[in-house]
Amino acid sequence: MSESPNLLHRISAALKVVQGEAHPDSARDVAALRLDLAERNEEVARLRKEYALQKEESRGQIDRAATEGIEGLIRQCAGPLATLSAMRARHREQGDVNPVDLFHVLASFEKILAERGLQPIGVVGEEAPYDPSLHQMLDGSRPQPGEPVQIRFAGYRFKGKLIAKAQAGAPSLERSL
């Protein structure tokens, strides 16, 4: 900031040169201002290059982190996927698959995704208090918030962010009785 008054003085002197009100030291002041301007332009150019390099480096770091995250997820899913592949081959050869085995594989995937931050909203078949921010009604009913609804399809949040609302309907009468 101590440079500012000196710089203002020199700019004022340069204006006087331009306006023809030159002072004996004005030519020297103009030359000094040109030198200052050239130095500042070089500094701005250097800072722009540095910023561009840092921005590119940040993009690279973000890309590497995303790739590592995806690779980790794929690595965790490899076992359950191999099991599904074996089950598919068995089904082709023998025509049968044990549904319980499928549910075990599904549970493996759910656990992997839960560890990564996926959270289900509701359990299919169960009743839950209606929340319009979390539930979408399938049957056209319009319950009031807090009224019971029956979950037909689970919804999901990822790290707290809503991904898909749970789909719900009016509770079945046989459960109510």
Higher pLDDT, 24 or 156: 156
Q: Is residue 150 part of a domain?
A: yes
**How many Å apart are CA 37 and CA 42, to the nearest integer?**
9
Residue 3, H or E segment:
helix 3-18
Using alpha carbons, select from 155, 130, 153 the residue that is nearest to residue 143.
130
pLDDT band at 107; cut points 50, 70, 90: very high
Question: Could you tell me if residue 166 is inside a domain?
Answer: yes
160 inside domain = yes
What digits encode the pLDDT tens for the residues 145-154?
Answer: 999 999 999 9
Whether residue 42 is contained in a domain is answered as no
Among residues 144, 115, 120, which one has the least CA distance to residue 130? 144
Q: Is residue 48 part of a domain?
A: no
What contacts 26, CB < 8 A, 6 or more positions away? Answer: 13, 14, 16, 17
Strands 166-169 and 127-129, by their bridges, are unpaired
Asked if residue 52 belongs to a domain, the reply is no
What contacts 132, CB < 8 A, 6 or more positions away? 145
Residue 4: predicted pLDDT: 63
* Pairing label, strands 155-158, 161-164: antiparallel
Domain presence at residue 127: yes
Q: How many domains does the chain have?
A: 1
pTM, entire model: 0.63
The pLDDT mean for the chain works out to 88
* 141 domain-assigned: yes
Indicate which CATH number applies to the domain containing 138.
2.30.22
Residue 9 has pLDDT above 80, yes or no: no
Grade residue 47 by pLDDT with cuts at 50, 70 and 90: very high
What confidence tens digit (pLDDT) does each residue in 166-177 have?
999 999 866 544
Range(s) of the domain holding residue 141: 119-177
